[in-house]
Amino acid sequence: MKKTATRLADGRELIYYDARDDAVRDAVDQRPLDPISTRSEIRHDRLLGDDVAVASHRQGRTYHPPADECPLCPSRDGRLSEIPASDYDVVVFENRFPSLAGDAGRCEVVCFTSDHDASFADLTAEQAALVLDAWTDRTAELAQLPSVEQVFCFENRGREIGVTLGHPHGQIYGYPFPTPRTRLMLRSLAEHRERTGRNLFDDVVADERSDGSRIVLDGEHWTAFVPYAAHWPYEVHLYPKRRVPDLTALDDAARTEFPQMYLELLKRFDRTFGEGEPPTPYIAAWHQAPFGKGGEVSRADREEFALHLELFTIRRTSGKLKFLAGSESGMNVFINDVPPEAAAERLREVASK
């Protein structure tokens, strides 16, 4: 992998990740952009104990532009975009409309391919491996920022999810605090450790593999399963078999196997609802350990956390979505219409031939 860093016309950082070592990235952003002005702040909810990012400047962000005006396509034929080069492999750049900025964290955009009409599932194993390299590099780089406590790499796909740009891309958030979801995991982790002396993540994966009814894929270095208490109609968790706290700690064997495993899962998601159905909307979310800079997360908590990816869709059956209504949105109690065992069986049925 070759990494080339540059700056956009308004000063934001942009980084090319190329598979070829001889790639030359010297294109200059020619757009007459004004300096970025963000109004992002973090407000604490005293009742729930969590934090909310208020970012009013995001109201003006780009919203479903036509394909020939896509800001994530390369700059070609006189049309200037966020990427100055006429082609690229993988690109990461600072979000022009960040939810988190400055002392409140950092937001980046990850473009998986220059092909506007592709999806992550269309990538080759080599292309997917380069995206993994980019995620890993950004995790390591953002860890050095004083304002970043936890790095979250994720992809939203589909209008139903709320995506406003059709180009295949994801995002990276550098939060200035451990997220509420991570705090819950760390609490359960500590309680399980005190009660049993064992690691909760290890026991969850071992129990799923022992039961077997919810296993979707079981490779040499990764295991994918529908969790026993899945919140979403079709939800898969992907764990490396050697527990590590974040992407930077994956060994070469796990990194090599990941693209095949992940691409197969994405292809199965697109086949789940049958022929003729539109692409399955999904969220793919990497859960990584916080860095413990603020003292809230101990070194033991970080070392015992398990990196994993959660992949889920809000589609519950053909033509129907799972909406977060009264119980879910009002009280955070999920009601799942699809038994996890049935979801796992369906995801095994649609395996690649």
Binding residues for Zn(2+): 70, 73, 116, 167
- First CA to last CA across the chain, in angstroms? 31
Q: Which residues are annotated as a binding site?
A: 70, 73, 116, 167
3-state SS, the chain, equals CEEEEEECCCCCEEEEEECCCCCCCCCCCCCCCCCCCCCEEEEECCCCCCEEEEEHHHHHCCCCCCHHHCCCCECECCECCCECCCCCCEEEEECCCCCCCHHHCEEEEEECCCCCCCCHHHCCHHHHHHHHHHHHHHHHHHCCCCCCCEEEEEEEECHHHCCCCCCCEEEEEEECCCCHHHHHHHHHHHHHHHHHCCCHHHHHHHHHHHHCCCEEEECCCEEEECCCCCCCCEEEEEEECCCCCCHHHCCHHHHHHHHHHHHHHHHHHHHCCCCCCCCCCEEEEEECCCCCCCCCCCHHHHHHCCCEEEEEECEEECCEECCCCHHHHHHCCCCCCCCHHHHHHHHHHCCCC
Which of the residues are catalytic? 169
